[in-house]
Every structure is written in C-alpha cells, then in structure tokens.
Amino acid sequence: MKLHLLPTSFLLLVCLLFSSGSSGQEVKHSENESVFNVVATSKSGKPREGEVITLTSQKTKKSYPGTTNAEGKCTIIIPSSDKYDIFYKHFSQQVKYHDVDVPGGEHRMTYTLSMKYDPPRTFTLKNVFFDTGKATLKKESFPALDELVDALKTKPAMVIEIAGHTDNVGSAEANQLLSAGRAVSVRDFLLSKGVKPTQVKAKGYGETQPVADNATEEGRQQNRRTEVRIIND
C-alpha cells in the first residue's frame, strides 16, 4: 500500500543557521528537499518515544533516520523527487510501515507523517546461542544482544521479560533449570552493558511452551529459543 501525503506548508525561504568556523555565515539547504515531521503513536494514541523511523530511497537505497522524542515526534529531511520506503525499528528488525511518493518542486515542502502501530509484544531473539546443555552465552550472540541493549536504552520506560525455552529432551526438571539459567545469562549481559535492572526480568519455562513438534529435530530446534516479552512500553 502506498501512502500519499499532502503538504501542510510551503517554506519559500528556508535556511539553517549555524556557525562555520568564525564566519557565522547562514547556509541555505537545497530547495529540492522535503521536511517530514513524523508523529509516531500506538494505535490507541500513546506517543512512542525512542522509535527509530527511517525513510529509505527506492532509487539510491540511502536511508534517512530519525528518533522520536517523548511526544513521539521527530523531523527527517530528505531529497524530493523520489519514492521512499518507511520503516520503524523493532529491536533488531526493520519493519516496513508504508511507502510514499515525494514529488519535486521549486520550493522546499513540509509534510506531516502520522504513524500508528503496535509491534508484536513477543518475539524470538535471533542469533543468540549457548554452549550445548549449558547456560553460557557464545560470543556469536553478542551483536544481537547489543541491538537489544540499544533498544532498551532508547526506551527507558520499557520493561521486558527474557523467557527461556527448551525442547523435551532430558528431564523436565533439568530443562526448567537450563531455561532459567539461560534467561538469567541474557539478563546479566544486558545489565553489564548499562541497561537498568528494573527494565529486565528473566524467567525459564523449560519444555512447557513448545511452538513446534518435539518429534522432529527441526521442531526441537524451534523450541530451543530465547524470547523477549514486552511487559510495558
């Protein structure tokens, strides 16, 4: 679905004031630009703070990001005469929201982009690995967990649960202990990177919540997972 926007105002003489060395000159932006004032909220209307909104050119593939403030607002300046894909970042994933045609013109254009969405509240962490039968994180897991750290720091009001799960191989008691240990290991990693302890809970569910058939290796692999569950955002 394409999102067609109407300009809310024309800025005939637009310039940005800043210091360049000691000259203090005024520098004009190109008139062939558009200003997007983004307003991101939940579907119920609650402002979404710390959301990374990106407009990506379909021509050049160049991306133009912005991060929303406490009112769910940010401003993104992009070249006109192009088509853009609009994304919001959900932890490590870029989720496409819409696309938009941005016409050219003789003057700089200003648009208001209202985004209302509710991301999934439970998702599986990808590329998080542990030593076999242990709760020790492998170093290959660090990049994915660093993404989670960044997301939690940009959303200080967010509270999540790290949920550990196993397949049904072995005793139920051992699987419960393993899943809890792995969840705690992820939480400890996040806290070591500066995430507030009040933002992260950890709980193991053992083999009690399978998402696939434990009768196959593929199913067991899907059941051995670490989930993020959003408690409060």
Same domain, 200 and 133: yes
Q: Supply the pLDDT for residue 18.
A: 24
Residues 50 and 151 in one domain: no
Which tens digits make up the pLDDT trace of 87-123? 999 887 889 999 999 998 777 889 999 999 998 899 9
Summarize the confidence of residues 191-200 as an average pLDDT.
97
User: Is there a single domain that holds both residue 158 and residue 52?
Assistant: no
Provide the domain limits for residue 58.
Answer: 2-116
* Residue 109 shares a structural domain with residue 167: no
Q: How far apart are the first and last CA of the chain?
A: 28
Give residue-wise pLDDT tens across range 166-186. Answer: 999 999 999 999 999 999 999
- Indicate whether 90 and 137 sit together in one domain: no
Mean pLDDT of the chain: 86
Provide the 8-state DSSP code for 121.
S
β 73-79/108-116 pair status: unpaired
Does the pTM of the predicted model rise above 0.85? no
R_g over Cα of the chain:
22
pLDDT of residue 30: 56
Backbone angles phi, psi at 205, to 5 degrees: -115, 0
Q: Would you place residue 57 in the very low, low, confident or very high pLDDT band (cuts 50, 70, 90)?
A: very high
- Whether 13 shows a pLDDT value over 70: the answer reads no
226: CATH: 3.30.1330.60
